[in-house]
Amino acid sequence: MTLYTSHQLRDRHSVRSYTNDPIPVTALAVLQQELESVNTEYSLEGVRFVMCCDSPAAFNSFRKSYGFFRNVNNYLVAVVYSSCANAREVAGYAGERLVMAAVAHGLGTCFVGATYDAAKVDVELSATESIAFLITIGVASEGKGFIARLVEKMAHRKCIAPEDFYDTDMAFYNLAEAEDRLRYLRAGLRALAAAPSALNRQPVRVWLGEDAYLHAGLAMTGKYTDIDLGIAKFNFQNVAPGKWEWGVGGRFMTH
């Protein structure tokens, strides 16, 4: 799997205004390749992604997209099987992997859980499947509408400092002790602070337990917090040597 630097993780931000230019061929080829890998790796976890190109209908209704988005012609659909316990979390993890691949190739992206027209999404679902979220993809536009500018400014503001992603209530070791034991913890906390989350709530926390494992959990629960958990785990894992177990309370297993 491609690893991204802390800088790349921090530079990503949600883009809601695009040009009508098609996705450049090289970037499109990389994305298709990454999408195939993701679909192979996570099919047993109940996750598949579908790419929809030249398909603006899901974002054309002002009522459903609240005018937040401009010129969304291309998007990925995260489809999950309802019977797989961690599917939405895995979809968040794999979604951030696809987002970073797109960003590394100069594209703009945005996770979208709510502000799209579900009836107009260009994908066939079986009775046991549902859409967890979409990811818009395209060439970012310089000129933005007033609402888009306002939303991006409000939504991107990060209010939580990296050290506050360490949950001192759950932890057996305080942050200084934990950082002494886990050299990668500080970089991991910064990566968590850079992770996108629904309504920018940044709900994911980590802590070093009595069992000497780092755990990941949620400071609050909501409609999208399982997805946020997967996204945050991807960011952390990118800068730290190990692999998360799925689920709330999952441990970080170092190599």
Q: Which CB, 110 or 191, lies closer to ligand FMN?
A: 110
DSSP conformation letters of 85-115: TTHHHHHHHHHHHHHHHHHHTT-EEEEESSS
192 CB-side CA count, 13 A: 27
Q: Which CB, 199 or 253, lies closer to ligand FMN?
A: 199
Owner of token pair 């998360």: 244
How many residues form the binding site for ligand FMN (CB under 6 A)? 22
Q: Which CB, 6 or 200, lies closer to ligand FMN?
A: 200
Stretch that binds ligand FMN, among 30-38, 108-116, 117-125, 139-147 (CB under 6 A): 108-116
Dihedral sign, Cα of residue 31, residue 244, residue 84, residue 115: negative
Does 114 sit near ligand FMN (CB under 6 A)?
A: yes
Under DSSP, is residue 77 helix (H, G, I), strand (E, B) or coil?
A: strand
DSSP conformation letters of 14-31: B--BB-SPPPPHHHHHHH
Does 198 sit near ligand FMN (CB under 6 A)?
A: yes
Does 68 sit near ligand FMN (CB under 6 A)?
A: yes
Beta strands (DSSP E) in the chain are 47-52, 74-81, 108-112, 129-138, 204-208, 214-218, 242-244, 250-254
Residue pair 215/250 in contact by the 8 Å Cβ criterion: yes
Task: Tell me, residue by residue from 132 to 171, as one string, x for binding to ligand FMN by CB under 6 A and - for no binding.
Answer: -x---------------------xx---------------
Gap between the Cα atoms of 170 and 192, Å rounded: 17
Gap between the Cα atoms of 15 and 82, Å rounded: 29
Cα 7–chain centre separation = 16
Smallest distance from the beta carbon of 231 to ligand FMN, in angstroms?
Answer: 6
Does 196 sit near ligand FMN (CB under 6 A)?
A: yes
Smallest distance from the beta carbon of 85 to ligand FMN, in angstroms?
Answer: 18
Stretch that binds ligand FMN, among 43-51, 190-198, 206-214, 246-254 (CB under 6 A): 190-198
Does 131 sit near ligand FMN (CB under 6 A)?
A: no
Among 4, 14, 27, 123, indicate the residue that binds ligand FMN (CB under 6 A). Answer: 14
**Rule CB under 6 A: which residues touch ligand FMN?**
13-14, 16, 68, 110-115, 133, 155-156, 196-200, 224, 227-228, 231
